[in-house]
Structure 1
Amino acid sequence: MTSPQHPLGSYGVWVRRPDLTPDLATRIERLGYGTLWVGGSPGAGLEEAAAALAATERITVATGIVNIWRADAAETARSFRRLEQDHPGRFLLGLGSGHPEADKARRAPLAAMADYLDVLDAEGVPAHRRVLSALGPKMLRLAADRAAGSHPYLTVPAHTAWAREVLGPGAVLAPEVMVIGETDSTRARATGRQMLGGYLGMSNYTSTMLRWGFTPEDLADGGSDRLVDELTRWGAPAQLAAGLRAHLDAGASHVCAQVLPVGADQAPTLEALAAELFAR
């Protein structure tokens, strides 16, 4: 499958939709990031993506991700066509199948995703303008066959290297990385544990963690220091930038940063990080 029509750039920013404002979208574009990911399961109407596109001029806006159990496929397709008409080539549709613990209707996610993609195909959403949130080999192969590639969440560079092998050389591979602009280890790890706590109860994430080097002990009691340090990147801007670059070195085509803590002013961290990432 070919790459999206509009380039993602090497680095982007992942923002939960309640925190995404037109002013923040504009600031992210001005800082030089290539893509703005709208996180937190945007609905089929894609309202937050539309607002971000209207507030900006060049940056790609993507969803990270639309949950296929909560967003009707035909409505999502109609919203895609509206955004494409208003902002040609600037929107990338990220899709995912959620978590069994959070979506009680979730059954046979691979087949359900294939069915969802069938509807998008019939409604005229090009395969190269969508990516799938894929952690395991079967969903990754589906992402390679029927989308531009994958947008995985909460992974380590070793997973990125393996996912690149599964996807092949030409596919988009755009992992998300949590970053914390805090140099004090106690405060930084407390922020990381607060964020990771909910994910340690989700089997698709914990099975991936166990496969890629963590132990059951690492997952216990809110997560070990090692788990927090590898699943989040904290410290000075140079350390945050190194955490993103580690995924590019492992085979990612794009990496997006999610600033923690949730709800905090993201601008200082994003500005400092941009200075490191885009230094000439």
Structure 2
Amino acid sequence: MTTPPLGKVGVWGLFDRFGDEKAAEVERLGYGAIWVGGVFESDLRNVQGALEHSESITVASGIVNIWTAPAQEVAASYHRLDARFPGRLVLGVGIGHPERSAAVYKTPYQALVAYLDELDSAGVPRDRLVLAALRSGVLKLSEARTAGAHPYLTPVAHTKFAREALGPGVLLAPEHKVVFETDPEAAHAVGREAVDFYTGLSNYVNMLREFGFPDLHVGDSASDELLDALVSYGTPERIAAGVTAHLEAGADHVSVQVLPTKGDPIPGLAALAEALGLRSAASG
């Protein structure tokens, strides 16, 4: 068994954003994977929705939260979906955020290792697993125990660091936010609304302080400079350049998250697919 193909570029959406006919549209446009974010239920219902509404595209969880979804139940859901949609499922798991996990957030690294042990014992193949990873410890765990890493909200400098930490031949698939808006002020407003949630979380702030933003503190609103590092905006060609920058820094695959999270993402994704040459690649 091997890791299902992801292609160079996929899409990322919270909860059930691609759990309907939009999944088929994403597939038709030539994207290689659909990443389903915010998976807190062990039945993987939103992952299943994306699989049901598409034919062959890889679907990944990005991520299953280990504190809310028991490993044995997740493993059972993995096997059920893999039997129904063979060769299409990647299971991304992670430890989430201490501010959102209350008293259960203890010894997170050891908890993640124990969770992987349970998935192993339940027969989930390592090449179908990826880890949400920001720092070197979990990046190394990704290399040792799974197919690779799925960093979230990371600048290009982090992608370069992650590639060096993982070494060659290990999957590196960061998420990257995009706004289909050419006015910088309007684009920054959309990006800030999304990013400010994460600048309230210590794990992201600590990472960003190491990768170009040493003066950032928990609770700060994102500066224009920070937004420009985390969110690509403008014409489809300009956004494509932002995606490509991660690939050039060592990513194998980039999952693009269209902001704002409400509304139909397909028109923007269609234009971006054209700029990236995905349609021609899919048809060829």
TM-score grouping bracket, smaller chain normalisation: over 0.9
Q: Distance in 2 between matches of 1:208 and 1:245?
A: 22
Match of 1:13 in 2: 11
Match of 2:223 in 1: 224
Q: Distance in 2 between matches of 1:237 and 1:52?
A: 25
Per the TM alignment, residue 5 of structure 1 is displaced from its structure 2 partner at its CA by 2.9
Q: 1:238 to 1:91 in 2, by over 3 A?
A: same
**Identity between Structure 1 and Structure 2 (%):** 47
Report the secondary structure of 2:251's partner residue: coil
Q: Distance in 2 between matches of 1:157 and 1:4?
A: 28
Match of 2:175 in 1: 176
Per the TM alignment, residue 222 of structure 1 is displaced from its structure 2 partner at its CA by 1.3
Q: Distance in 1 between matches of 2:214 and 2:19?
A: 39
Match of 1:99 in 2: 97
CA contact (8 A) 1:10 1:253 kept: yes
Q: 1:198 to 1:127 in 2, by over 3 A?
A: same
Match of 1:82 in 2: 80
CA contact (8 A) 1:192 1:232 kept: yes
Instruction: Give the ranges of 4+ consecutive aligned residues of structure 1 lying more than 3 Å apart after TM superposition.
Output: 217-221
Q: Distance in 1 between matches of 2:51 and 2:222?
A: 37
Per the TM alignment, residue 22 of structure 1 is displaced from its structure 2 partner at its CA by 1.7
Please say which of residues 100-109 and 61-70 is displaced more in the overlay: 100-109
Map residues 136-215 of structure 1 onto 2, 5 A cutoff.
136-215=135-214
Q: Distance in 1 between matches of 2:157 and 2:228?
A: 15
The answer on 1:54 being equivalent to 2:52 is: yes
CA contact (8 A) 2:202 2:218 kept: no
Q: Structure 1: give runs of 5+ residues left out of the alignment.
A: none
CA contact (8 A) 2:205 2:216 kept: no
Q: 1:125 to 1:6 in 2, by over 3 A?
A: same
Q: Distance in 2 between matches of 1:8 and 1:221?
A: 35
CA contact (8 A) 2:205 2:217 kept: no
Q: Structure 2: give runs of 5+ residues left out of the alignment.
A: none
CA contact (8 A) 1:42 1:48 kept: no
Q: State the number of aligned residues.
A: 278
* TM-score between both structures, scaled by the size of structure 1: 0.96
Q: Distance in 1 between matches of 2:137 and 2:23?
A: 34
Q: Amino acid of the residue matched to residue 134 of structure 1?
A: A
Q: CA RMSD in A?
A: 1.4
